């Protein structure tokens, strides 16, 4: 269950870790980025967020080896500000997000994230929450399923798949990943099934996003991150989905843009409090995508809070 971090060197380089700084890894996962931050600290501290107990235990082994100060926070990163305040932290020097699902989530068949293994339809990152993928599949209306598959999975067969799911669950509830895969296949034309790529990939992605409310959580967390970032501090976000990237792009653009019209030359121009370090997204190298196919869809954006003398 080896987890390969994406854009590892680039993320740490753009975070500009200071030896005595306070940093937050909002997506602890396998712990690779967190360990990289810790290795650059001396008297500083790292706060690492995750809501998955398995991920936390795996990462704790890696972080302990660094022998540096860190705190693991078992929380959804949408609670970023409150969770840090509870620990006496109001301002930080840098925040990292590595979005998506860790490799070991897919590799652990019991979690129900993968369409390759037979398992209960679960897909919860936080296993204490009530909503599971089976609840979505068996209770959402055809219209809601279609909307979700299209919005979060960009699947052009969303109407047919939603219809087939509703039809199948009348006979009996769809309880497992492979039952859902077979239902999806029955909804798609043979020509589409013969194409490269798994026919259930987009639907499973959409379900995962819905179950974990990933997009709303991301927007809420980024807005809190802006509030707690010190002057000179940076927010680094690695995303793997176009909808995630759009949220990051929009939040960063708004934070780095003033509403002062350029034609009002008589008024002093007010600078935006933040600046985008690079307006174009940062993508993995060809070498990295060859070694780690998961990196192909990765995009990284970086935002910096300006200092008074900028």
Instruction: Give the pLDDT means over successive 10-residue stretches in the chain (310 positions).
Output: 78 96 95 94 96 87 82 96 98 95 68 91 93 98 98 95 98 97 96 91 95 96 98 97 95 87 58 91 94 90 92
Determine the Cα–Cα distance for residues 200 and 229; give it in Å rounded to an integer. Answer: 40
What per-residue confidence (pLDDT) applies to 53?
87
Instruction: Round the CA-based radius of gyration of the chain to a whole number and report it.
Output: 21
* Cβ atoms of residues 59 and 104 within 8 Å: no
Domain map of the chain by residue range? 8-104+214-305, 127-211
Task: Please report, for residues 14, 79, 150, 253, 255, the alpha-carbon distance to residue 279 in angstroms, rounded to integers and kept in the order given.
Answer: 14, 28, 28, 9, 13
Determine the Cα–Cα distance for residues 103 and 1; give it in Å rounded to an integer. Answer: 7
Determine the Cα–Cα distance for residues 40 and 11; give it in Å rounded to an integer. Answer: 13
Tell me which fold the domain 127-211 belongs to. DNA polymerase; domain 1 (1.10.150)
Determine the Cα–Cα distance for residues 139 and 145; give it in Å rounded to an integer. Answer: 9
Determine the Cα–Cα distance for residues 105 and 294; give it in Å rounded to an integer. Answer: 14
What per-residue confidence (pLDDT) applies to 1?
43
What per-residue confidence (pLDDT) applies to 180?
98
pTM of the model: 0.90
What per-residue confidence (pLDDT) applies to 101?
72
Strands 22-25 and 45-50: parallel
Look-up of token digits 């005595």: 20
8-104+214-305: CATH superfamily: Vaccinia Virus protein VP39 (3.40.50.150)
Best CA proximity match to 95, nearest among 39, 33, 41, 9: 33
What per-residue confidence (pLDDT) applies to 184?
97
Best CA proximity match to 33, nearest among 53, 51, 52, 55: 55
Helix, strand, coil percentages in the chain from 3-state DSSP, rounded to 5 = 45, 15, 40
């Amino acid at each position: 269950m080896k987890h390969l971090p994406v854009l590892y060197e680039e993320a740490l380089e753009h975070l500009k870790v200071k030896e005595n700084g306070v940093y937050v890894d909002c997506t602890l996962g396998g712990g690779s980025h967190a360990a990289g931050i810790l290795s650059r600290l001396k008297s500083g501290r790292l706060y690492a967020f995750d809501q998955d107990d398995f991920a936390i235990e795996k990462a704790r082994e890696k972080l302990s080896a660094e022998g540096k100060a860190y705190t693991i926070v078992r929380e959804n990163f949408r609670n970023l500000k409150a969770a840090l305040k509870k620990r006496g932290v109001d301002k930080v020097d840098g925040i990292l997000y590595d979005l998506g699902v860790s490799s070991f989530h897919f590799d652990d068949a019991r979690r129900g994230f993968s369409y390759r293994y037979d398992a209960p339809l679960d897909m919860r990152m936080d296993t204490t929450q009530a909503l599971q993928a089976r609840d979505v599949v068996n209770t959402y209306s055809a219209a809601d399923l279609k909307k979700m598959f299209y919005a979060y999975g960009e699947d052009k067969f969303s109407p047919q798949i939603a219809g087939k799911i509703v039809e199948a669950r009348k006979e009996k509830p769809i309880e497992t990943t492979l039952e859902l895969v077979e239902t999806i296949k029955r909804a798609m034309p043979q020509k589409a099934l013969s194409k490269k790529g798994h026919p259930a990939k987009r639907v499973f992605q959409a379900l995962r996003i819905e179950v974990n409310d990933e997009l709303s959580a991301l927007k809420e967390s980024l807005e809190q991150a802006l509030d707690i970032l010190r002057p000179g501090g940076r927010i680094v976000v690695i995303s793997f989905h176009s909808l995630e990237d759009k949220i990051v792009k929009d939040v960063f653009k708004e934070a780095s843009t003033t509403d002062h019209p350029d034609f009002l030359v008589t008024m002093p121009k007010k600078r935006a409090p933040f600046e985008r370090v690079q307006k174009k997204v940062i993508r993995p190298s060809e070498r990295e995508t060859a070694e780690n196919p998961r990196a192909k869809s990765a995009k990284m954006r970086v935002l910096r809070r300006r200092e008074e003398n900028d």
